[in-house]
Each structure stands twice: as C-alpha cells, then as structure tokens.
Chains A and B, each alone.
Chain A
Amino acid sequence: MEIGDPLVRADALAKVLGKEKYSADLYTPGMLWSGVKRAGVSHAELVSVNIERAKALEGVEAVLTAADVPGPNRQGVIHKDQPVLAQDRIHYAGDPVALVLAKDQSTLKKALELISLELRELPGVYDPASALEAKAPLVHPQNESGNLIIHATQILGRGAAALDDCQTVVEGDFEVPRQEHAFMETECGVARLDENGRLEMSVSTQAPFRDRLEIGQALGLDPFSIRVKAPAMGGGFGGKDGATVQCLLALAALKASNRPVIMVWDRRESFLAGTKRLAGRLKYRLGADADGSLKALVCEIIMDNGAYANLGPEVLGQCMECAAGPYRVLNTSISGKAVYTNNPVGGPFRGFGAPQAAFAMEQMMDMLAARLGLEPLEIRRRNALKRGDKNSLGITLTTSTGIAQCLHTLADHPLYLQAEDWKKKSPPFRARGKGLACVLHSVGFGAKVPDYATAKIELTGEGKFKIYSGIVDMGQGNASTYLQMAGDILNQDAADLELVLPDTELCLPSGSASASRTTYIFGNALIKAAERLKKLIQQKAAMVFASQDREDDFALLPRTVRHLPSGWEVSLADLARMPNKSELTATGYFKAPVAPEAKEGGSLEIKGFGMGHRLFSYGAHLALIEVDQITGHIEVASYLAVTDSGRVINPQIFEQQIQGGIAQGLGYGLCEDFLLHKGQVLSRDFSTYILPTSLDVPVIYSKAVETHEDSGPYGMKGMGELPICGPLPAVANGLADACGVRVMQAPLTGERVLNALSTAGAAGEEK
C-alpha cells in the first residue's frame, strides 16, 4: 500500500454485499422499541402531559416524562440549553415531551398517538431580526441577553473607517436558507443497561467519546459507566455531531429492565428534530482601490439559530472567519449574531459557516470587478492570500496557502479557456454564463478547543495488524485512509490490516468526525503509532536473530520481517507468539498546533469558539450554466473544482469528496429550501424537500494543486467540507454573467430567477 495510490475503499465490499451493519441493523427479536412524542406547537407553556391512556395500552413497557429524567435534563455540546425531555415549556415544534417503550413498532406508534398535551400557546419569534426587537417574545426567558446567544465583532486595522478611503465601494444584502442534511440513514441507535449498571450503546454518531460525556451530564450518570460504539454510518454531514437519539435512548435503556432498546427516527421526525444548516442574513460593504486591491470590508451577519444553541455560535464563528474569502483585506469589521427563535435547531452542516459567507463574498467580488472593469479572475488573482499575509482576523498565514496556484490552474484549464466560445452558442431562449468562486475552509477546531487524536495499533497473534480508529468514518472514507497510511509504514497488504471501529472501550479518545480534521489529526497520530510499532517489531526481530545489527537492517514485508544483510526471515505470526504482548501494541498522540496570536494571551482577542485557525484548504471553482429565460430554471452544464488540500493520499477518495460536496452544494444552491411557517416544517419529506438526483449533477472536472503542508500527514490538509462552499456562489455569479441579474436570496430557484429576470426586464422597458 502506497501513499498516493487510488486504493479501493476497505468498506466497499461489505457495503455492496449488503453485509455492513449499521446501527438500526443491530435489531434483535425481543428488543423494545422506543420513541418520543413531540410537541407539535412552536412555543407554549407545557401545562401537563397526559400519559395514562398510553401507559394502559397492552405492550407498552413504560412512558416517561421530564419528571422521570435523572440528572439535570440538559444536553448540548458546549451550550447546555436543551432538555432531554421538555419541562414546563415548549421552545419549538420538535421538542420531545414523552418517551415511550413498547414491545414493537406498531404498539409504539399507537401509544404515541394516545399521549395528549395540555398547552398554553405563547406568541413566538420566527426570524432573527424581529427576535432582537425590544418587545420580542423570549425563547429562553432566563437567558441574560434575551434572544441573543452570542454577538461577536472582529476588527482588523482601521475597520469600517477605512471604507471612506476606498475609491470604490459595493454593497450587498444576502439571505441564505436552512439546509437539511438528509443523510440516507436517519438518526438511530440501540442500547442496553446490563445487570451491573453499565450502559452500552451502538449509535449513528460523529462523536462517540463526546456522547459518553453528554449522556452522562444530561442524565447524571458516570460517563465511564457508558460504552458508546460507532458502527458504520449512513452519512452525517454534521447532523450527527452532538446528541440526537443518544440521551433519549440512554434514558429508555435505564427504564427497560435490562432489555435491549432500539430507537429509529423516521424521515419526518429527522426533518423536524434534526439540526439544520443555519439560515441567515449577511450585509456586506466591500471597498477597493482603483486597481482592485481590497482595502476595507464591513459585514454584519445574523444567524437564525432556532430554539437551542447547539453548535450554532461556533458555526457563526467559522462564517465570520471565512467572511472575507481567501483574500487579503487590510481593514475589516466583521460582526456576527446568533439568535434564538422558535424554529427548528440550527447546527453544524458540512462547511460549518463557510458556505453562507462564500455566497456573499464571492458575489461581492464579482460586483466589485464589474464596477472596476476587471475580469472576475483578475480581481481574485490580485487579492489572493499568500503565505505571510495576515488573514481577515489578523492571523499571519504560516501554513501552505495555495489559492493563487488554484486560480492559475483554473485559468489554464480548457473549460475556462473555452467558456466564452461555449457561451456564444446558446440555444434560443436560453442564456449561458460562467461563474467563478474561490473558497476556503479551516482544518481543525481552532485556537480555543483542544484538538488532539490518539491512535493505537496492535500486532495480533496471527501476525496481522489491528488499527483502532478513534475518529468515526461517517461515510467519507477516512478509515480507509487510516489503513492506507498504516499499510504504507508497516508495508502490509490490505488483507492483513483490520480496522477496529470507534468504541469508547477499545479505542482512544480522538475527538469528533468534524471540522475537516479526521485524516489530518488522526493520520498524524497514526503515523507515530505505526512508526513506533515498526520499531518494536524490528527490535524484536533483532532479538530473535540475536543480531548486533541496527534495527534498520530489518525490513518489514507483508506478513514477514527480513534481515537484509543475511536474507533470513521470520514471520510476523511467529514474532507475535513471543511472550510479552504489550510490546506489540503502540500508540501515537498528536495535538494540533494553533495560531500563536489566537491563543489565550496572544495578540488577538478572538471572540468565539470555532474561530482563530492556523490551517486552511483552498479552492477555485468554475460553473458553466445555462438559464432557461422562460422558466427561470438554471441548469449547470459543467463544473471545475481546483483544490489545494496539500498532498492527496488517495485520489479516488479525494474525488469522491469533491463530487459529493459539489452535488450537495448544488442542492444548496438550486433546489434545497427547508421551508417553515411560524416554526412549523413545510418541507417534511423527500417529495417537498428536493434533493439533487442523478439527472441534476453535471460533469465535474477536478484538479489538485497539491501544495505540501508541513504539519499534515504526508503533507495533506483536510478537504471534506471545502467543495460544498463553491457551487452556490459560482452559480450565482454565472447567472449574473448570463443574464445580468443577481439573486441575493438562495437557493436560486426558477421562481426567484424568473422574478429577477422580469423585474430587470420591466426596468429595462421603463428606460
């Protein structure tokens, strides 16, 4: 196994055979089914929950309410403001009010229907701007800052005052929608409390080690009495980072008389109760000199966080950090607010806050270019960040910064070179355009959150290697990359490497599968573990041969160690049979470096969590689009993504992330609109929330510029979230290029485009 090989994924075979077991597949006959009754109303006082009829139903084991929750009944990754079961007050329609355990799924369903609620409805707030008005109803009356969760401002240089000195200033007011993760596997898990009081759970999760703490804190349990296992996951995209079923399922298991319990949310429940990408509004003013050099950026961001904080404030932080794009801006004033409303909960979604920022900033760049008579590519080239520059937070970039190379590669690509010719050949009633967007995404947690991983590898008695994964693979293939790295160092074939999926009992804590960190951080830890184990094996081999030679004279080969000077060999299985097993396990620990100026006591005062990164990946995207002038429908004809994520470890998995991220980004850009009315979900399923299908994804070209990142394993940087940031702004810029109109509200549905076209047409006629 070599670094750089497009090796097939280790999990693919089991998956094509239908043999891979996901959490909901761990069903066994006799298991109890658990589920929750949800409030249905958006804001209310909860007077009482009538559970008697449900309790009396045959086959119902237990019906629980907030009164049955041991411990503080509060969950949340950082901000503990969400009850496991609602008490006294309903904050949004998805609040769970009662938990039922039943002998089977149909009894569960009947029992949930028999529960009734006595509610006193309250006026609600459904958009963040009105939630901040003086007399707005309060979502959490005990919150000291009213409906405001966080307000952060970052100022660089002279801030907003520098706008006055700019030769040209453009302004824009942008609106971005909620996006639903719509992972194919809904939230689910199984759990059992054993006779000794130990709780074991297998759950679809991005963060098994953190789940243990979150469950323990919410329910007042010793976190070390909880074992969380993370089987294969059917997608996460951020929506399974933080408790979904975990606390409810644990509570169910506590009351199940040691019987196993399963909980599976159906699609509608997932849509209602799962987190969403934060919707928000971004107001921008961007100023430049006559030559297009960016001089000042002022932006105000306000995010609808929904009923609970979740990781919304951190998402906002990432949005602020990416607000200026991958550009050098000398003076910035970037402020952000995350606000409680009575809407479904906002939280992390692939890209965190970066896609929202890219929609605004990339259109601002094109608007500025048009004003100055510059090509969109040229204005980006002139302002592209390079190593040594300060970014918009004031952090000096000391890590690989390849955005200029990305633009260079894009400019040389046939798709870009032929775009103007292609545009000219548009059929009747259709207009063609090309749109550019530059993207960036940070790698890791940033300055304020500890960011580490611990890897473990063991040589088994059969002479094979077990790699204990500390970070979940939610489908993106990082686990296969772990094997590729270990296989490269230990020089073993795929068949002799076995992956141990994350399990709090067997593996070592390494943080969540999020923040484009998995391969970067765990890979770094794994390299240390693999090199240590290699050395142990070489030492052992030297002992066996009673050799005075250096360890380096012993080479690891598949299943064997060879003494190079003599050619003698000993099998790894024979070596493994030697006594003292602890010698055959190695661990490696890696803690991510942080930007010194963003650390506690550093020169910058970084306001929020999730801000102040040292390392970023970059990309330059190009969309060629065709607009139907009669319907307003946008068709993306072809797409190019040029990526700087350092060295590519596995080109096939890299391409999977590019293609999948762009498809998801096109959904965000064109058709995915999670609609609400006064907190009630209108897009309840796949027939009302439209996802891209095989017919909607264009040809996608991908190029990697492969800078070398010194701190990354083999020079790589994380890139799982980067590609989703590009499609929406690239298409929006393509629309402006094709038709001369800008749609400031995403997604760019046919209806919105048509409105913009007819408004522009009417204005044209008036002139």
Chain B
Amino acid sequence: MKLEFVLNGRPLTLEADPGTRVIDLLRRELELTGVKEACGSGECGACSILVDGRQLVSCLMLAGQLQGREVTTIEGLAPPNGLHPLQEEFVARGAVQCGFCTPGMLMAGAALLKNRPDADENEIKKGISGNICRCTGYIKIVEAIEAAQKRLKKGAVL
C-alpha cells in the first residue's frame, strides 16, 4: 500500500506492506536502528516510539497503522543542532550504561514530560515502568528525567 506519514518532522511517502511490523519498517527499510528490539512482544519498551505524541511499542504495530500519523523515533527526539534536555541529562547524570534500553526509555520520558509535565517522582517511576532496564537500577534514569523536567519548566526551548 501507499503509506503516508510524518516521520521525525518530515512527510514521507513510501510503498509498504501494511502487515509489516513497524519496528521492521523503521529499522530495515528506513535504517532507523536506534529503535531497538529486545522482546518482540510488547513487554519491555525498548522499541518505543511516539505516535501523535503517545508512547507506543513499535513491535506490536503494523505499518498500516501509521497512515496519516506523526511518528517520532529516537533519531528525531533532538531539536536541530542540539539535544533534548532529557538526552543531556541522561548523559550528564550517568543514566546510560549498555544503552540498549536508552532510546525507548527516552521516548517514554519524552511522552511523560509532554503529557504530564507536573509528574512527581512516583508518577515518573510509574510512567517508565513499562520500560525495562537491566543495567542501571533506574535510579539515575529517574534523576535524569526529574532534572530535565525542571529545565523544561524553566522554559528550556525544544
């Protein structure tokens, strides 16, 4: 089918099998390998993307579901010539170890801060509880999200 959607800010038209998993479309056809596959069954959040601003797992979506929607992957999180405050804080606060859960975790964090800008620590923990990290113990991830939240509240520009 002819698939039209906005990917990382740019309108895109391509011929695709509507039954292809979105994660395969992104990783193989579009070479967006920042989208990670870790379970393939929607249980770990590593393949999270934003679809119309909501965090969804791309391993459980089919290409046809992207028709007409706005999609952001980790490759599109940073503003031009810069980093998203979440990305800066993840680096500065040591929230990254092996890095395999990081893209999905950042997308979860981005959706959370956008939809619930006043989330407290517990709400942040809840917000990322669908994303599994096996290295960090989550503590530095939560700290990084809180730090980014403060900067966004102070009006950090995206």
Interface residues of A (CB under 8 A from B): 6, 8-9, 11-22, 24-25, 27, 29, 105, 181-186, 232-235, 237, 266-267, 474-477, 652-653, 655-656, 659-664, 685-687, 691-695, 697, 699-700
Contacts and interface: CB of A to CB of B under 8 A. Distances in A.
Interface residues of chain A: helix, strand, loop or mixed (majority): loop
A656 B140 contact: yes
24 contacts: A15-B99, A15-B102, A16-B91, A17-B87, A18-B77, A21-B33, A25-B27, A182-B132, A183-B134, A185-B98, A232-B99, A233-B98, A234-B36, A235-B98, A267-B40, A474-B98, A476-B97, A477-B97, A653-B94, A659-B140, A660-B97, A685-B43, A686-B43, A695-B129
A8 B94 CA distance: 7
B136 A659 contact: yes
A706 B128 CA distance: 34
Contacts, number: 168
B132 A20 contact: no
Interface residues of chain B: helix, strand, loop or mixed (majority): loop
A653 B101 CA distance: 18
A692 to B, nearest CB: 8
Contacts of A663: 136-138
Contacts of A475: 97-100, 135
B135 A186 contact: no
Contacts of B111: none
A193 B27 CA distance: 25
Nearest to A699: B139
A661 B46 CA distance: 20
B125 interface: yes
B38 A18 contact: no
A16 B96 contact: yes
A330 to B, nearest CB: 38
B155 to A, nearest CB: 22
Given A18-B73, A686-B132, A693 B32 contact: no
B78 A12 contact: no
Contacts of A19: 34, 75
Most B-side CB within 10 Å, residue of A474, A662, A693: A693
Given A186-B38, A234-B98, A17 B139 contact: no
Given A184-B100, A185-B98, A8 B129 contact: no
Given A12-B91, A476-B97, A182 B134 contact: yes
B43 A687 contact: yes
A685 B138 CA distance: 21
Contacts of B12: none
A751 B40 CA distance: 30
B153 interface: no
B97 A697 contact: no
Contacts of A693: 129-130, 132, 138
Contacts of A695: 125-126, 129
Given A184-B133, A686-B41, A694 B138 contact: yes
Interface of B: 24, 27-28, 32-41, 43-44, 46, 73-75, 77-78, 83, 86-87, 90-92, 94, 96-103, 106, 125-126, 128-142
A599 B90 CA distance: 46
B87 A16 contact: yes
A522 B136 CA distance: 23
Contacts of B136: 656, 659-660, 663
Contacts of B134: 181-184, 235, 237, 660, 664, 691
A621 B39 CA distance: 33
A259 B36 CA distance: 25
Given A687-B43, A694-B131, 15 more contacts: A9-B96, A12-B94, A16-B86, A18-B77, A18-B103, A19-B75, A25-B33, A181-B134, A182-B134, A234-B38, A475-B98, A686-B39, A694-B142, A695-B126, A699-B139
Nearest to A235: B98
B132 to A, nearest CB: 6
A372 to B, nearest CB: 35
Most B-side CB within 10 Å, residue of A184, A267, A662: A184
Nearest to A18: B34
A16 B100 contact: no
A660 to B, nearest CB: 5
Contacts of B133: 184, 694
B75 A17 contact: yes
Contacts of A234: 36, 38, 98-100
B138 A184 contact: no
B141 to A, nearest CB: 7
B87 A184 contact: no
Nearest to B126: A695
Most A-side CB within 10 Å, residue of B131, B139, B140: B139
Given A16-B83, A16-B106, A234-B36, A11 B138 contact: no
A652 B94 contact: yes
Nearest to A693: B129
Nearest to B144: A16
Contacts of B139: 659, 697, 699-700
B151 to A, nearest CB: 15
A545 to B, nearest CB: 40
A659 B74 CA distance: 25
